[in-house]
Structure 1
Amino acid sequence: MAIDPADGRPWALLPGTLCTGEVFDGFLDALGVARRARTVIELSDPQIEDYADALTAIAPGAIICGFSLGAIVTAHLADRLDAAQFVFFGLNPHADDPAKRDGRLALARDVTRRGGAAALAERLPPLAGPDPERALSQILSMANQTQHLIDAHTAIALSRPGALGALSRVPCPVTLLTGTDDQMAPFALAQDAAQAAPQGRAVALEGLGHYALVEDPAACARALSDAWNAP
C-alpha cells in the first residue's frame, strides 16, 4: 500500500531501552513527517498491558512505529489496535531468552550505580553509518536522559511472552526493518515476525546495526519509502 508519510496522519512512536523519542527524529525528518504529527509514548511502566490504553487512543488511522523494546511492546498489542500501518525497527517477536536475564539485571544495576551512558557505552556493539561518532554521542545522551526508566525497561523485557500470535491477527500492513549487522535482534527475527503477520514484510538495512535509526536515518527512510511503494 503506497502512502505519503508526510500527509499529516499521526505517528505514535515507542522508543527502545534507554532511548528517548529522539531516536526517530532523523528518520522522520527525512520522511518529511511534521513534528506536530509525532506522539512519543515513553516506556515508563513495567508491563506491556500498561500501554494498551495510550496506544488504543491514538491508533485509529495512525502509523505506529516502535524501535527495539518499543517495537516489542507494540507488537504484543498490535492485534487490538486499529492502526493504518505498523513499522518496527529491530524487533524480536519471541519471548525473552532466559539466558539474557542475568545480563539485563546487571545492566539495570550498573545504570543505577554509574548512569545510563557509562553503563551502556561498554555494552554497545560497533556502530556503522556515515558518522559513527555522532551516532554514539546521540545514543549515550539518550541513555543518560532515560536512566531513571531502566527498571521499567528491564521488567518489560524480562516478562514479555512473545508476539507472534498477536502479529498473526493484525489486518493491516506490517513493515519490519532490521540492520544486516544487528547483533541484538538479527534479521532472521524480523523474518519470523513478517511470516507471522498476514501483510508482513521484512526489509534488510544493509550494513547497519541495531541502532540503524541513529546510524543512518536517511537510509532507513529510503528503505521504508521503497517498501511502501513496492508492488
Structure 2
Amino acid sequence: MDIPDIAQRPWLLLPGTLCTAFVFDGFLDDLGVPTAHRMAVALDRPSVADYQSDFKDLPADSIVCGFSLGAIVAAQYADRIKPHQLILFGLNPHADDPRKEQSRRDLERDVIEMGGAAALKLRPMQIHGQQPDKTRDAIYAMAEASSQLITAQTALALNRPSALPALARSTMPVLSLTGTLDQSAPPSQGIAAAEAAPRGTFRELDGLGHFALIEDPAACAMAVKQLMDAA
C-alpha cells in the first residue's frame, strides 16, 4: 500500500486516556491523510459495550487506529468490525491489573480536583524522542482539554476484559506498534496482541516510549507504511 492509498482512506481514530485526537495529527500529517478523512471517537463512556455505535456502518475501505486506551477499545471490537486495517499503538490487550486500581483512582481524583495538566505534572513521565519538552507540553495540553472524560475513562480502563479473544477472531490485518522504551504498555504486550490476531504483525519503534506518536510521528508513519507495503 503506497502513501496515496493510505491518504485516500477514511480513518477512525480512538485516542487514549486524557488524550485528544491531536495525538494522531503529526503521524497522519506525515502519511498525507487530509483532515476531512479523520474522524475521532471521544472516550466518554465507561464500558467497552458503549462504543458499538461508533463502529456501526464502518466503511470497508477504512482504517481504524487506536492509541493506548483507544487501542484497547478498538481491539475489543476486532471480531465485530471489518475495516481495511486495524492499527494499534501502545496496546495492552490484557484485562486491567487489579494492582493498578488505586493509582487510577488517585489520578481520577486529582484530575477532578485540579485539572488534567496539573494532575499529570505530579506524576513523572518518561518522554523520549528529539523534543521531549515539546512532547510533554502537548501531553499536558491534551490532558487539560480532556479532563472532563476522566471518570468514564477510569471506569473503562478498570472494567475492560481481555482483548485477546476478539483479536483471535479478527479477519482484517492488525498492526501492533510499541515503543521499545514504553513502560506503560511494554513491547511484550504488543507482541501478544499481534500473535493473537491471525493476520497480526508487530513492529517495535526503536528508542520511543508510550507517546511514540508524538515523540516521533515521522518514525511511526514510516513504520506503518513499511508494514502495509510488506503485507
What whole-Å deviation, never above 9, does each CA across 1:81-132 have from its counterpart, x for those lacking one?
Answer: 1211000000000000000000000000010111100111232422111111
Matches within 5 A, 1:1-231: 2-4=1-3, 5-230=5-230
Once residues 97 and 3 of structure 1 are traced to their aligned partners in structure 2, the CA distance between those partners, rounded to angstroms, is 39
Secondary structure of 1:223's match? helix
The letter of the residue matching 1:13 is L
Q: CA deviation at 1:50?
A: 0.9
Identity of aligned residues (%): 50
Q: Report the TM-score, using the length of structure 2 for normalisation.
A: 0.97
Contact 2:7 2:31 in 1 (8 A): no
After superposing on structure 2, the runs of 4+ consecutive aligned residues of structure 1 that deviate more than 3 Å are 3-7
The letter of the residue matching 1:200 is G
What whole-Å deviation, never above 9, does each CA across 1:12-46 have from its counterpart, x for those lacking one?
Answer: 00000000000000000001111110000111111
Contact 1:64 1:86 in 2 (8 A): yes
| Alignment root-mean-square deviation, CA | 1.1
The letter of the residue matching 2:131 is D
Unaligned 5+ residue runs, structure 2? none
Once residues 14 and 163 of structure 1 are traced to their aligned partners in structure 2, the CA distance between those partners, rounded to angstroms, is 15
The letter of the residue matching 1:172 is M
Q: CA deviation at 1:7?
A: 4.1
Once residues 57 and 108 of structure 1 are traced to their aligned partners in structure 2, the CA distance between those partners, rounded to angstroms, is 33
> How many pairs are equivalent?
230
